[in-house]
Each structure stands twice: as structure tokens, then as C-alpha cells.
Amino acid sequence: MIHKLGVVGHPVKHSLSPKIHRAFARQAGLEIIYDKYDIEDAELGLFIKEFFANGGKGLNITVPHKLNCIKYVDTAATAVKRFMSANTLITKEGGIFAESTDGPGFLKDLYVKEIDINKKNILILGAGGAAKSIISSICLGKKPDSIFISNRTQSKVNELIKVLGTDEYITPIDFSEYEMHKDQVRAMDIVINATSKGIDGKFSWEDDIPVHEETIFYDLSYSKGQTSFLEWASKFSDNGFDGKGMLVQQAALSFKLWFDFSPSTEEVEELLNE
């Protein structure tokens, strides 16, 4: 039996997901077809409906559709409903189901890379779906000292902080209010790029971010070479990681949802870095 899978985004030509899932399928002894689908927002609903109606097994969702895809599913995981971001679709008895493996995949990659976020001060650049996913996972699973959020559009920061609420053990702080906290938070230990800036061009941000020599810069995005975010970050620190590891880890969790098989990730990440 051949299983039909794919990744949907706009643009999507750069995606490494087909390479990853084909490697997972070889481990599982499965036959799959995994294609890239460059779909504009206006066409997304019809595409999802027809994909699954025509025998599709599962879809990965990437930018800019992680929010809008939720409108076209029948049911969703609790975290997806709360934070309105999904990256994995699968058919179940109740119809099309939406899940997000971004946050758990991010935490798994931190664990593999021995990056400890407990008792750390974290700055997240961006306030979209990717930021929501990782912040919710961090708050549920780890205990950083603080989480700051910075975004070009101030209203999105306010909206994200409101959505996250105060029922987590830690409430994210608007980075524009850093001056009020600098006596307690001298510098950021980890800076995470959760924006799409730099995917197709040069990354830029304010240079007055308080950091130290050991600050870790983590880019949720990836590219063939060094990402433009990590190029920008190199002026502050040599401790930089791109998003390939997270991509592999969240893909493994998606694959588990589709086939109930947990693939090995180490070999696949090495394959991407060749």
C-alpha cells in the first residue's frame, strides 16, 4: 500500500520535509508519496478537502497556513484550539484532525543539543503561530526565569500575552517593558527567532538586545547554509543553531501520529547537514 502525504505552504520549494519523511518511511518499511504543495491562502480549504477526499493520509502545514488551516478541519487537539496553530493534519473517524508537533519537537531538539532552559532568561522574536507553539510547550514542560516577546507589530505581542494568560506558571513579558525588569534580568541567555524574516532575504532587528558571551541564538528557520538570522547573531555570540533539528524532531512526531511508528532522528539530521 502506498501512503499519500505532503507539505503545504507558500512558498514551499525550500522544504526538506519530503527528504525527512522518505527517510522515516524507509526505517518503517513503508511506501509513501510525499510531495510539496505551493498553495495560496484562497485555495487552501479546497486543497485540504480534496487531498483527503482523494485518499490522502496526512499533511504537514508550514507558513503561512498554520492558523488558517484550522478553519478547514473537523476537530483539533486542545493546544491547537487554544493557540490557533497547527502543523499536522490526519484523517480520523471523526474527519480531519489538526495537531501541532512544533513545540514538542522544539523541546526535543533542545534536549538532544543539551540546551537547558531551566532558570534561563529567554527572548522570543516574533508573536505568530510558531511563537505560540514553543512558548506553550516551554511553559508546560520547563521552568525558565523569564520569557520576553518582541515583535514589530505591538498589537500581536499584546494579543499573544493575552492568549497565553496567567494560568501557566510563568507569564511572558513584553520586551518593550524590559527597562522595568533589567535589575532582575541582566541579559538574555537564549534568543529564539520565531519570525519568517530572513527566509528570503536579509534578517535585521534592533541591536540593543542585552546578551552575554554565552547567549544561545536559536533559529526556528533553516537554509542550505547559515541562516541570515544566525549571520546577524554572530556579532553577539558563536553559539548558534538553526531549525533543522527541530524540523526533524517535529517531523518524527508527525510520522508517529500517522503511522504509530517512532523513527530514529539522529541519522536523518546528519543527512540534512551533508
Please pick, among 57, 66, 108, 197, the residue that the annotation labels catalytic. 66
Specify whether the CB–CB gap between 272 and 20 falls below 8 A.
yes
Q: How many residues does the chain have?
A: 274
Give the closest residue to 217 by CA, choosing from 194, 241, 197: 241
Judge whether 162 counts as a catalytic residue.
no
Specify whether the CB–CB gap between 209 and 229 falls below 8 A.
no
Q: Is 106 exposed, middle or buried (CB count within 10 Å of its CB: 0-12, 13-18, 19+)?
A: buried
DSSP for residue 163:
H
Phi, psi torsion values for 215, nearest 5 degrees: -55, 135
Phi, psi torsion values for 10, nearest 5 degrees: -160, 100
Give dist(CA 62, CA 46) in Å, integer: 17
Q: Which helix (H) or strand (E) holds 147?
A: strand 146-150
The total of other beta-carbon atoms located within 10 Å of residue 78's CB is 7
Distance of CA 101 to the CA centre of its chain: 8
Just list the catalytic residues: 66
